[in-house]
Amino acid sequence: MAPQFHGAYKVHGGKLVVADFDVAGGVLANVSISGDFFLEPDEALTDINGALNGQDAAAPAAALAAAIDAGLPAGVVLFGFSAQAVAMAVRRALALATSWSDHQWDVVGPTVLPTEVNVALDEVLTAEVGAGRRNPTLRFWDWQEPSVVIGSFQSLRNEIDPAGVEEYGIKVVRRISGGGAMFMEAGNCITYSLYLPQSLVDGLSFADSYPFLDSWVMAALESLGIRAFYVPLNDIATEQGKIGGAAQKRLANGGMLHHVTMSYDIDADKMVKVLRIGKEKLSDKGTTSAKKRVDPLRRQTGVAREEIISRMMSTFTERYGAKASELTSEELAEARARVGTKFGTAQWLERVP
């Protein structure tokens, strides 16, 4: 008889892992793990299957991975996969974890909105996806006013220079995700938000979820001649330097925000007058100057910002079968309401003084 459950997980940059098994009395039974990975010695595959047999079918990925690790003798070599990857294949078979193809994805192109509304939309749309009222969505930002968006846990006075803010008429807002400050003028960076169910990253560590969710971005940039990669935890870089950074927020209802800003044509002189970027911030970046930390995409590609965004949208659409979408009037109204009650208030902006 065919197994009751079948699931697969492709390791990012690695191999395919397939899990076939039954569930009897609430535990895994007749487990058979397969794939195009490498494993030494061969007998270790029996150890992996044995470690999973009898495990609680509702166990989280971390517990399944720990059971596999505990069941493997010393000296076993797993190449192209890991105990965590096996656990994710099991979770997918049980429909407790999902893959990109399990969802209908929407793409919302750049829409010029006040920066306060953009950050409010991140909260609104993440909640909508978590509640199942909106498909998982990729949204590109656009804006006009020069702005700084600080991370949820950053200190306002430690990150922002009031003199620079006043001189250049900068709008300062705080977002719901962590990470560092973003200096944003119209056309000087590419910003997007990905709203997804947390089941898509089930079993992945926080560190691994960043490159996993941006693999399509790396492919889009590579098609433009740029080899980009992640520098842990959340910096996106090329051999020429940092080009962007990511931040995340998980909501209690199962929705998740993955937010990225990449520098296109940043005014570094203005940036360092607006942001307080101290020596400690630069200490592990291999540079002593904030101006040298960021190497904009315009210089590296010679391609218009609009063309890069278009390439990113088409790459995402082709990979995941996404369809074009728009913000609804209800979503925009809710975002503007939250500007009045939260994102546009001093209480929120100064919550970490």
Query: Looking at residue 278, what is its pLDDT?
Result: 52
Angle between helices 83-93 and 61-71 (to 10 degrees): 130
Which strands form 241-250's sheet, in the order they lie side by side?
A: 229-231, 235-238, 241-250, 255-263, 189-197, 137-142, 106-112, 323-325
Backbone angles phi, psi at 33, to 5 degrees: -100, 135
**3-class DSSP assignment, residue 328:** coil
Whether 322 and 100 have beta carbons less than 8 Å apart is answered as no
**Around Cβ 36, how many Cβ atoms within 10 Å?**
12
**Angle CA(173)–CA(177)–CA(181) in degrees, nearest 5?**
50
State the 10-residue block means of pLDDT for the chain, 353 residues long.
94 93 98 98 98 97 96 97 96 95 97 98 98 97 97 97 96 96 95 97 92 96 95 92 95 97 94 77 48 79 96 98 98 98 98 96
**3-class DSSP assignment, residue 1:** coil
- Cα(293)–Cα(302) distance, integer angstroms: 19
Backbone angles phi, psi at 89, to 5 degrees: -60, -40
Residue in the block written with tokens 């890991």: 82
Query: Looking at residue 295, what is its pLDDT?
Result: 80
- Cα(66)–Cα(29) distance, integer angstroms: 18
Model confidence, pTM:
0.90
Query: Looking at residue 292, what is its pLDDT?
Result: 53
The two three-digit tokens of residue 214, written as one number: 């941006």
Query: Looking at residue 1, what is its pLDDT?
Result: 82
